Amino acid sequence: MELNKKTTRNIIKIAAVILVFAFLLYNLSSVLEFAGMILSLLSPFIIGGMIAFVMNVPMSTFENHCFSRIKKQNLKRVLSIICAFFSVVIVIAVVMGLVVPEIGRTIQNLIQEFPRRLEQMQLWLNELLKGNTEIEKYFAQIWASGEEYLLKFVNNLGSKGISGGFFTAMTGAISGTVSIVVNFFMGLIFSIYILVQKEKLGSQGRRVAAVIWKKPVCDGILSVLSLCNNTFRKFITGQCVEAVILAVIFFVCMSVFGMPYALTISVLIMLMSLIPIFGSLIGCVAGAFLIVFVNPLQALLFIIMFLIIQQIEGNLIYPHVVGNSIGLPSIWVFVAVLLGGNLFGIAGMLVFIPLCSVLYTLAKNWVKKKEREAKENESDSGR
């Protein structure tokens, strides 16, 4: 191989990349600590970017449909932002007003009914274990051990927890809560700036990209970013539509069967369904918990009804509403949810579906391009 200037530069670049990678790997703990510090500093801006991305969907809807006749762009944008945030606040307030009081009343009923339920369970166990002396002794030992551990826990809480660790834990919790609230409001303000000037920021980003990269590379990067933006926006819209459909189905079915807390549980399931596929399971557990202290048989009926609706939702509603909205086949929706959930939990589920859709679209376009090139080569060789 001839060692010209271009080859020498390539070798130097490869060697530099290897050295940097080795350095980072050798000092991995320090690198991770530094990255965590940087993320902590940038968290208000990251939160603001996420809020702006989500709020851009209702803001664009108001801007294009409700205030389209307003000529002044600045006035139209400000009114759209106010209406978008106001709508979200109203939805949150309505949901909290419906769900939180019912949960509070249920917890209060649970506290009042717990001693009686516990006594009934103890009588049932005594009746069940009557004559079985060995099993009775075994359960008596378990009960005594549990009582002993409970007494130790109460004594430790009284002697150490309040004086030492309790205040430390409370101080840490308050400090963390204040930090989260401050970061959220700073991010909220930053998101408003992004929404107001999104066209200007986009134009500046395209100019910077054009300076850094050559035109084909720049066009490719902008095309991928545009695809990501459209896919994530459609995913958010489809996820919200799917949650509303599921809430309506639950409300109708629960009203037909005369179940308590129909509206509250339906709203709760709607919120939990924003978590892809498995979120409604959380809503089912919470709904059954609300119903069981009113009527245990209806709680069992609710679980059976949930399993039936879950099959309909998992096989028909979700893959078609969300999968079709982002152009991802049903099987890949499930793959994305499983991979994202196993790797990063709930956040992974939310991100991996549109991310897999982007990768699927890019791969599909690449395959089509190669097939078209292959056909063109065959036609050229045939001549």
The 10s digit of each residue's pLDDT in 189-218 is 988 888 888 888 888 888 888 888 888 888
**366 residue type, one letter:** W
d(CA 187, CA 48): 4
- Statement: residue 373 has pLDDT above 50: yes
* Closest to 265 measured CA to CA, from 276, 277, 252, 237: 252
**Backbone conformation region of residue 72, classed left if phi is above 0, alpha if psi is from -120 to 50, else beta:** beta
Q: What is the pLDDT of residues 81-134, one digit of tens each?
A: 999 899 888 888 887 777 777 767 766 776 676 667 666 666 666 666 666 666
Q: Given pLDDT bands bounded at 50, 70 and 90, which one contains residue 380?
A: low
For CA atoms 278, 87, 316, 265, give the dihedral sign. Answer: positive
d(CA 38, CA 81): 30
Is the model's pTM score more than 0.85? no
Q: CB-based contacts of 110: which residues, under 8 Å, 6+ apart?
A: 293
CA angle 236/76/187 to nearest 5° reads 50
Q: Given pLDDT bands bounded at 50, 70 and 90, which one contains residue 2?
A: low
Q: Given pLDDT bands bounded at 50, 70 and 90, which one contains residue 244?
A: confident
For residue 273, give both structure tokens: 């369904």
- Statement: residue 160 has pLDDT above 50: no
d(CA 336, CA 19): 35
- Statement: residue 79 has pLDDT above 50: yes
For residue 29, give both structure tokens: 């703990």
**240 residue type, one letter:** C
d(CA 276, CA 314): 10
- Statement: residue 177 has pLDDT above 80: no
- Percent of the chain exceeding pLDDT 90 equals 2
Give the mean model confidence (pLDDT) for residues 355-380: 80
Contact 344, 351 (CB under 8 A): yes
Q: CB-based contacts of 344: which residues, under 8 Å, 6+ apart?
A: 351, 352
d(CA 56, CA 65): 14
Question: What phi and psi, each to the nearest 5 degrees, are found at residue 276?
Answer: -60, 135
Q: What is the pLDDT of residues 270-322, one digit of tens each?
A: 888 777 666 777 888 888 887 877 777 888 899 999 888 878 776 776 666 66
- Statement: residue 254 has pLDDT above 70: yes
Please give the span between the terminal C-alpha atoms of the chain, in angstroms, as a whole number: 38
- Cβ burial 199-222 (10 Å sphere, 16+ → b, else e): eeeeeeeeeeeeeeeeeeebeeeb
**DSSP character at residue 129:** T
Q: What is the pLDDT of residues 211-237, one digit of tens each?
A: 888 888 888 888 888 888 888 887 777
Q: What is the pLDDT of residues 12-62, one digit of tens each?
A: 878 888 888 888 788 878 877 887 788 778 888 888 888 888 888 888 888
**241 residue type, one letter:** V
